[in-house]
Chain A
Amino acid sequence: MSAAIPVTQPEVEGSASIMRVDNLTVGYVRGDETDNIVVWEADFTLEPGAILGLAGESGCGKSTTALAAIGYRSPGAHVLSGSSRLGELDLLKLSTSQLRSIWGKRVAYVAQSAVGALNPAIPIGRQLAQPLVTHLGLHGQELRARQLELLEAVGLPDPPTALARYPFQFSGGQQQRIAIAIALSCKPEVLLLDEPTTGLDVTTQARISTLLRSLVSETGVAALYVSHDLALLGKVADRLAVMYAGEIVEIGAAADVSRRPRHPYTQALIAAIPNMDKPRNVAVIPGRPPSRVVLDACSFAPRCSYATDHTRENHPELLEVAPGHRARCFRVEEIAARPLAGSVLPIREAESEPLLDVIDVTCDYRSGRTTKTVLHSVSVTLRTGETLGIVGESGSGKSTLLRAVAGLHVPTSGSIRLRGEELAPRAVKRSRLVRRELQIVFQNPDSSLNPRHTVADLLRRPIRLFREDVSHRGEKDAMIELLEAVKLPRNMLGRYPSELSGGQKQRVAIARAFAARPSVLLCDEVTSALDVSVQATILELLADLSAHFGAAVMFVSHDLAVVRTITTRALVMKDGEVCEEAEIERLFDDPQHPYTRELLAAIPEPLVAAGAG
C-alpha cells in the first residue's frame, strides 16, 4: 500500500468528466448574520455513464452539496466558495434565468418523493411533454414518439394509455419511474438523484435501482446518487463518497469503499446495517453528528473508537490510501485491518404458553360505499416472552393487524384473546388491566408524541393511568427511572419533542410504552423513520428492555434484515394474508413461499466491514 500523502491539488480524474466540482463550500446565514458552514470544500467529478454515490446520515450535508453543485440555492443557503463546471460553464456563477435553460435540459433532478414531484392535476403525458416542448421544441408525432420511447425505457406498462392517466392512477414505484422518464426526457448530461428509492417497498426499491443502473449505462448520463443507504449505493454506484459533518470523509471506487472502508465512520455505518450474515448483531455508533463543519479537530473524533488527543485537536486532510481511494483520517494505516465488532442481542427462549391469540381476524376499510378488505382471516399466536416479527410491504395489512390488537381498528370478524380471554374490539371498552398490558410504539415519533407536551407530560400520563404502585409524589422518580432505562439524561423531562433528535424522540416513545409495564409490546415500524446508526441503538434498547421487563414483542417491519436481527420467529404477509410463518433461521435459510424468496432476493447483499472476512 502506498504511503499516505496529503492530496493538496484536486486529483485529475481524466479529462472525460462531465461535471467537476471543486472546493464547494456552503453556509447558511444565521440569525446574527454570520455563516453556519454546512459543506466544506467538497471536490468530486461526475463521469459519463457512471454513478457517484453520496452517502451519510441525515444532516451530513449530502443533499445540500448535491443541490449546490447544480447551482440550486436553497432558501438561506449560499455558496461561499468553489466552482462547479459543466463543460465550459461554472454553474455557481450563472444567474437563475441562465440556470433555468440548463436545468431540465442539461442537468436533471429526481426528487425523493414522486408523489410530491408530479402535479396531481395534470395527466402524465402533458407533464412528460413539458420539458420536450420547452427545451427541444418537439411537437406532433415526434413528441408522441419520444414520450412513448421514454415510458418504455423506464418500464411502464402500456405507454400509450399511460399518457392520458393521472399520477394517482399509478403506484408509488410507477410514479417514480415516470419522474425518472421526465428527468431523462431531454437527454441530460448530468442526473441528480436525491434519495430516489427511499420510502418505496424493498422489492420496488430493488427494481428501481436496477432500472437506474441500466439507464445510466445506456444513456451515458453522469449521475450523482444521494442516499443514506450505504448498502444500496455499494451495489448501484461506480464510485462512492461518504459525507460526515459537511465534509467528504471517504471517496473511492464503490466496491473499495463499501467492502474495504478505511474511514472509521464508513466502517461504523456499514457495521450498523443489520446484516444477514451476522444475525442478532448490532453495532451502535455512539453520539450524533455535529450540525456543522468542524475545522479544528477531526469531526468524527467524539464518536470514534480510534480517537486520540492528536485527532481531537487537528483536522485531517483527505489522504490517498490506495489508488483512487481517499480517506480523511489520521490513522488509516492502523485502522485498515481492524474489524468492528458489535454486540450480540440476547436470544430469549420463548415459553410455549400462548399469551396473545389472534384468531381469524378480518379487517375492512370502508370509504363511502366501497369496502376494502385489508386483512383476510389472519391468525397469529404470540407466546410469552417471544419477539415475533411481522414482515410485509405496504398494503400487506401488517399495521392494520397491529392496530386491531391495540384496539384501534375494529375487526369485521374474528377474535383477539389475551391469555385466553376475549378482548373487546375497541380499546376504550377494554379493562384498565388489559390496556396496561398491551402497549404500542408507532413508526414516527414526530407523530406519536404530542408536540405540545413535555417529556414529563408524556411519561406522566401512562404512569398515572396504569401504575397503581406509584403515588403522585413518586411520579417524578418513576419518570427518571424510565429515562434512565432508555438511556436518556434526566434533564430531558422539561423538554418538548421538537427539542430532541429523532432517536431521542423514539426513546421517549419507548419509555412511554414501558411506563405501563406491558406484557405485550406492539412495535409498528419503529426504526424505519430513523438513520441506520440510530436504528441499531433502538434495536438494542428494545431487546434489552423487553428482556428486562419480560414483555413479548410483536415487531412489524418491512425490513427483513432488521427482523432477522431482533426476532426469533416471523410471519410474512402479503395482501392481507399470511404467506409463511416460521422460526427465524428457517425462514431465512429455507424460505418456502415464493414471495418470501422474492423479498429475500431484494435485499442488497450484506457489506462486510474491514478485515472481518
Chain B
Amino acid sequence: MSSGAVVEPGVLDPEPLRPIEEEEEARPPSAWRTILGSLEGRIGLVFGAIMLGIIAFGRFFTPYSPTELGVGPQATGPSADHFLGTDNLGRDVFSRFLVGGDTIVLVPLAAVTVAFLVGGGLGMLGAYSRGRTDGLITRLFDLLLTLPPLLLVLVIIAGLGTSKVVLVLTVALVFVPRVGRIVRGATQAVVTSDFIAAAQARGERTGSILAREVLPNIAAPAIADFALRITYGVIFVATLNFLGLGAQPPKPDWGLMVAESRNFLSVAPWATLGPAFGIAALSISFNMIADALTRHLTREAARGIVPV
C-alpha cells in the first residue's frame, strides 16, 4: 500500500481466523482420558473393574453351591478346601462372596437413575418455572428431606414387604429431594441466561427448552452428582441388607453376610471380612472415579465446554 493511503475499511477480512498452531488452544481432553490420566481415576477404574468383574462373572466360578448347607465344617477360617473358610452353617464363604454382590450394584444403579429422572426433572421444572410451581416442588423436597432415610425405608418396607422393586423405589425416594435440590440449584444459574430468553422468544415449549438449552448446561454437576450418588447408594443398600430390610436369607448377599457372620468373627473372620471388603472396595473405587470425573467436569465447566 502506498504511503499515506487512506484506510479503506472492508479491504481486509474484518476478523481473520487465528492460525491454529499459534493461538488455538487444543480441544480439551475427553472425560475418559482425564480419568485415566489421574492416579485416583486409574486406581478407581482398576478396582472398580475387578469388583464389577467378580460381581458379574463370579457366579460361574463358584467351587461350591453358595446356598448349600454343610459343604464343609461350621465356622472355620481359610483352608485348602475353603479359600475364605466357612460360615456358621457350613456354607463356603468364597462361593457366597462371588455371587453376593449383585444387589448392592444393581439396586443403587436403578434407584439413582429413577431419582435423577424424577428429582432431576422436578428440580429443573421448578427452577425454570419459578413462582408457585417452584414453591410447591421445593416444599415437597423439604418435606422428604425431613424424614430420616432409614426410618422412611423401614416404614415403607414394613408396609409393602421387601422386594427388589420396592427397594429400588424406596431408595430412589430417599434420593429424589437430594438430587432435585442439586439439579434445581444448577438450573437456577442457567435460566437467567439470555439464551433461555432467546429460546422463549422463538416460541419454544418448556420441554424443549429444558432438554435443549438447560440440560447440556447442567450436565456437569448432574453427572458428578450421579457418580457420587451411586457410592452413597452402594453403602445405603448394603446397610439395608445388613439390617435385614433388603435381601433375605438364604440369598447370599454381602450386607446380609456381614450381619449373619459377625457373631463368629473370631473363629471365621473371612465370613465377615470378605463381604465387608467387597462393599468397601466397590464404594471406594466408585468414589475415586466420581472424584476424578468431578474434577474434569468442573475444570471444563470453567472453560465453558463440556464434551462428556
Q: Taking the complex as formed, is B292 at the interface, i.e. its CB lies under 8 A from any CB of chain A?
A: no
Q: Taking the complex as formed, is B10 at the interface, i.e. its CB lies under 8 A from any CB of chain A?
A: yes
Q: Taking the complex as formed, is B7 at the interface, i.e. its CB lies under 8 A from any CB of chain A?
A: yes
Give the residues in chain B near A288, CB-CB below 8 Å: 15
A227 to chain B, nearest CB (A): 24
Q: Taking the complex as formed, is A282 at the interface, i.e. its CB lies under 8 A from any CB of chain B?
A: yes
Is the beta-carbon distance between A407 and B17 smaller than 8 angstroms? no
Smallest Cβ-Cβ distance to B4: which chain A residue: A338
Flag B9-36 by CB within 8 Å of A: 1 or 0 each.
Answer: 1111111110000011000000000000
Flag A493-523 by CB within 8 Å of B: 1 or 0 each.
Answer: 0001111010110000000100000000000
Is the beta-carbon distance between B3 and A341 smaller than 8 angstroms? no
Is the beta-carbon distance between A452 and B217 smaller than 8 angstroms? yes
Give the residues in chain A near B197, CB-CB below 8 Å: 403, 406, 408, 440, 442, 448
Is the beta-carbon distance between A306 and B194 smaller than 8 angstroms? no
Is the beta-carbon distance between A540 and B203 smaller than 8 angstroms? no
Give the residues in chain B near A331, CB-CB below 8 Å: 3
Q: Taking the complex as formed, is A370 at the interface, i.e. its CB lies under 8 A from any CB of chain B?
A: no
Smallest Cβ-Cβ distance to B24: which chain A residue: A499
Q: Taking the complex as formed, is B201 at the interface, i.e. its CB lies under 8 A from any CB of chain A?
A: yes
Which one, A342, A427, A449, A489, contacts B201 given CB within 8 A? A427
Is the beta-carbon distance between B14 and A341 smaller than 8 angstroms? no
Report Cα–Cα, A72/B116, bound state, in Å.
45
Is the beta-carbon distance between A487 and B216 smaller than 8 angstroms? no
Q: Taking the complex as formed, is A550 at the interface, i.e. its CB lies under 8 A from any CB of chain B?
A: no
Report Cα–Cα, A522/B11, bound state, in Å.
29
| A286-B4 contact given A427-B200, A442-B194, A450-B217, CB 8 Å threshold | no
Is the beta-carbon distance between B3 and A306 smaller than 8 angstroms? yes
Give the residues in chain B near A487, CB-CB below 8 Å: 13-15
Report Cα–Cα, A450/B204, bound state, in Å.
15
Report Cα–Cα, A286/B10, bound state, in Å.
8
Is the beta-carbon distance between B203 and A284 smaller than 8 angstroms? no
Smallest Cβ-Cβ distance to B16: which chain A residue: A287
Is the beta-carbon distance between B15 and A537 smaller than 8 angstroms? yes
Interface residues of B in 280-301 (CB under 8 A from A): none
Q: Taking the complex as formed, is A435 at the interface, i.e. its CB lies under 8 A from any CB of chain B?
A: yes
Smallest Cβ-Cβ distance to A487: which chain B residue: B14
Q: Taking the complex as formed, is B304 at the interface, i.e. its CB lies under 8 A from any CB of chain A?
A: yes
Report Cα–Cα, A587/B299, bound state, in Å.
50
| A540-B195 contact given A450-B213, A462-B202, A504-B15, CB 8 Å threshold | no
Q: What secondary structure prevails in chain B residues at the interface with A?
A: loop
| A341-B6 contact given A450-B195, A487-B13, A496-B304, CB 8 Å threshold | yes
Is the beta-carbon distance between B198 and A440 smaller than 8 angstroms? yes
Q: Taking the complex as formed, is A160 at the interface, i.e. its CB lies under 8 A from any CB of chain B?
A: no
Q: Taking the complex as formed, is B193 at the interface, i.e. its CB lies under 8 A from any CB of chain A?
A: yes
Q: Taking the complex as formed, is B172 at the interface, i.e. its CB lies under 8 A from any CB of chain A?
A: no
Report Cα–Cα, A291/B197, bound state, in Å.
33
Give the residues in chain A near B200, CB-CB below 8 Å: 407-408, 427-428
Give the residues in chain A near B194, CB-CB below 8 Å: 442-444, 447-448
Is the beta-carbon distance between B216 and A453 smaller than 8 angstroms? yes
Q: Taking the complex as formed, is B305 at the interface, i.e. its CB lies under 8 A from any CB of chain A?
A: yes
The interface size of chain A toward B, counting residues with CB under 8 Å, comes to 65
Is the beta-carbon distance between A427 and B6 smaller than 8 angstroms? no
Interface residues of A in 421-480 (CB under 8 A from B): 427-428, 430, 432, 435, 438-440, 442-444, 447-453, 461-462, 465-466
Is the beta-carbon distance between A408 and B1 smaller than 8 angstroms? no
Report Cα–Cα, A430/B201, bound state, in Å.
10
Smallest Cβ-Cβ distance to A497: which chain B residue: B304
Is the beta-carbon distance between B193 and A287 smaller than 8 angstroms? no
Q: Taking the complex as formed, is B205 at the interface, i.e. its CB lies under 8 A from any CB of chain A?
A: yes
| A287-B23 contact given A334-B3, A450-B216, A540-B9, CB 8 Å threshold | no
Is the beta-carbon distance between B202 and A406 smaller than 8 angstroms? no
Q: Taking the complex as formed, is A283 at the interface, i.e. its CB lies under 8 A from any CB of chain B?
A: yes
Give the residues in chain A near B17, CB-CB below 8 Å: 489, 491
Give the residues in chain B near A287, CB-CB below 8 Å: 12-16
Interface residues of A in 305-352 (CB under 8 A from B): 305-308, 331, 334-335, 337-343
Smallest Cβ-Cβ distance to B205: which chain A residue: A428
A525 to chain B, nearest CB (A): 11
Which one, B4, B15, B304, contacts A501 given CB within 8 A? B15
Which one, B1, B6, B306, contacts A452 given CB within 8 A? B306
Report Cα–Cα, A282/B9, bound state, in Å.
9
Give the residues in chain B near A435, CB-CB below 8 Å: 201-203
Flag A243-280 by CB within 8 Å of B: 1 or 0 each.
Answer: 00000000000000000000000001001000000000
Give the residues in chain A near B204, CB-CB below 8 Å: 428
Report Cα–Cα, A407/B217, bound state, in Å.
24
Interface residues of A in 514-567 (CB under 8 A from B): 537, 540
Is the beta-carbon distance between A447 and B193 smaller than 8 angstroms? yes
Is the beta-carbon distance between A449 and B195 smaller than 8 angstroms? yes
A60 to chain B, nearest CB (A): 15
Interface residues of A in 280-312 (CB under 8 A from B): 282-284, 286-288, 290-291, 303, 305-308
Q: Which of A406, A427, A444 has the most CB of B within 10 A?
A: A427
Give the residues in chain B near A453, CB-CB below 8 Å: 216
Q: Which of B194, B197, B303 has the most CB of A within 10 A?
A: B194
Q: Taking the complex as formed, is B5 at the interface, i.e. its CB lies under 8 A from any CB of chain A?
A: yes
Report Cα–Cα, A449/B198, bound state, in Å.
9
Report Cα–Cα, A331/B12, bound state, in Å.
21
Give the residues in chain B near A503, CB-CB below 8 Å: 15
Report Cα–Cα, A305/B8, bound state, in Å.
8
Give the residues in chain A near B15, CB-CB below 8 Å: 286-288, 487-488, 501, 503-504, 537
Give the residues in chain A near B212, CB-CB below 8 Å: 461
Give the residues in chain A near B12, CB-CB below 8 Å: 286-287, 303
Smallest Cβ-Cβ distance to A337: which chain B residue: B4
Is the beta-carbon distance between B16 and A305 smaller than 8 angstroms? no
A sample of 8 cross-chain residue pairs with beta-carbon separation below 8 angstroms, ordered by A number, consists of: A286-B9, A308-B1, A334-B3, A427-B202, A428-B200, A440-B197, A447-B193, A466-B202
Q: Which 6 A-B pairs have the closest CB atoms?
A: A452-B216, A498-B304, A448-B194, A286-B12, A442-B194, A447-B194
